[in-house]
Amino acid sequence: MRPITGPGTKKIMGIKFLNNFLLPAILLTSFPGCSERTIETFESGRAVSGIGSDEYKGEKSGKVTERIVFSSNRSGPWRIWMMNADASAMRQLTKGGPEEHDVDPAFSPDGRNILLSSNRGDKIGVWKMSIDRASRLERVCDRDQAQWSPNGKKIVFRRNGKIYTRDLATGKEKKITPNDWLHCSGPAWSPDGKTIAFACRWDAGNMIFTVEAAGGTPAKVYDKQGACEPQWSPDGQLLAYETETHISTIRPDGKENRPITYFGGVQRYPRWSPDGKYIVYCQGVTQRGPWELYVIPSKGGAPVKLTEGASDMNPDWK
């Protein structure tokens, strides 16, 4: 975690204060020109824009069984929230002290549990909770950016710039990125369980790689436009990822790169719908937010705004 330095900056117990902005330093990767996984609470006013899609609204207007979980500062500190895929029935899942922040939620394969990153206990760690018993959080291990394996028996996560897997039953961990790769982040497990996609920062910029889940030599997928935050489509045929300002999709072999968002503002944190037809993401007026959640067809089209008020980030869809 690279410290923030400069006038008006100080660091207190993992929370960074930069001038008038509060930045809980839970998921900071310091990727220049790409997502820094930095959660910010803004005192400034809001600027809101969005485009409605009758197609999406109509498709989701029946009985809603899919849910979106996300992190939000709408109640003060960053907490985990959940809503239906049509933005109805929004509710807060986690609670805590004013200095405790919960971010980056990820659904388990069966949709019953959530992984998240938190600074509870004054130490950044991966935590697990049941949706039905959100008040009972269980600490899994140190560090952040965790996602589940397809069978739910393992997780992949980041620690000290390296990517690890962890067996949840035994606690056994395995580092799967090379020792001299110092700035890896955003790991995501492929639907078949064989491969993990992740990003890594080099002097030349940010790049997307894949590596076998058991470890090995990473294969480069894409190395332009500050690419990071790769996420597998449900069928494993595509990766959605973010650039400096927009979201694209690409095949794991590096072919068929295609922009999905190309309008104003900054779009980040893409996640697929369970059927692969849509991508949920967050959009900010600038790279400093404030952030709102949107949905767009995975082949491109008109986005639908889901949330407004405060900042909403890190969505996941099940």
Domain boundaries, the chain: 9-317
Whole-prediction pTM value?
Answer: 0.85
CA atoms within 13 A on the CB side of 9: 11
- Quote the pLDDT of residue 55: 57
Greater pLDDT, 244 or 24: 244
Q: Which residues are CB-contacts of 19 (< 8 A; sequence separation ≥ 6)?
A: 8, 9
- Quote the pLDDT of residue 19: 26
Question: How is residue 105 written in tokens?
Answer: 């939620």
- Quote the pLDDT of residue 33: 42
303/309 Cα distance (integer angstroms): 18
Question: What are 120-167's pLDDT values in tens digits?
Answer: 999 999 999 999 988 899 999 999 999 999 999 999 999 999 999 999
Which residues pair with residue 208 across a beta bridge?
199, 222
Q: What percent of the chain has pLDDT over 90?
A: 74
- Residue 177 exposed, middle or buried by CB count within 10 Å (0-12, 13-18, 19+): buried
CA atoms within 13 A on the CB side of 225: 16
How does residue 54 score in pLDDT terms, banded at 50, 70 and 90? low
- Quote the pLDDT of residue 15: 30
Provide the 8-state DSSP code for 89: S
Quick check: 42 and 290 in contact, CB under 8 A?
Answer: yes
Quick check: 295 and 51 in contact, CB under 8 A?
Answer: no
Q: In the predicted model, is pLDDT for residue 67 greater than 70?
A: yes
Question: How is residue 164 written in tokens?
Answer: 């690890």
Amino acid in the structure at residue 21: F
Provide the 8-state DSSP code for 245: S
Whether the ω angle into residue 7 lies within 30 degrees of 0, i.e. cis, is no
237/309 Cα distance (integer angstroms): 35
Phi, psi (rounded to 5 degrees) for 54:
-65, -30
Quick check: 31 and 2 in contact, CB under 8 A?
Answer: no
The CATH number of 9-317, from 1.20.1440.230, 3.30.70.1230, 2.120.10.30, 3.30.70.360, is 2.120.10.30
187/269 Cα distance (integer angstroms): 12
Number of H helices, E strands in the chain: 1, 27
Q: Which residues are CB-contacts of 22 (< 8 A; sequence separation ≥ 6)?
A: 15, 40, 41
Helix (H) or strand (E) run with residue 291 in it? strand 289-297
5/41 Cα distance (integer angstroms): 19
Mean of pLDDT values over 73-88: 96
How does residue 7 score in pLDDT terms, banded at 50, 70 and 90? very low
195/280 Cα distance (integer angstroms): 23
Which residues pair with residue 291 across a beta bridge?
284
Q: Which residues are CB-contacts of 47 (< 8 A; sequence separation ≥ 6)?
A: 285, 290
Cα angle 280, 285, 288 (rounded to 5 degrees) comes to 95
Greater pLDDT, 234 or 55: 234
Residue from 270, 267, 154, 265 nearest 208 by CA = 270
Residue from 95, 69, 103 nearest 84 by CA = 69
* Average pLDDT over all residues of the chain: 84
Mean of pLDDT values over 104-111: 97
- Quote the pLDDT of residue 34: 53
How does residue 5 score in pLDDT terms, banded at 50, 70 and 90? very low
Residue from 268, 199, 189, 267 nearest 234 by CA = 189
Q: What percent of the chain has pLDDT over 70?
A: 80
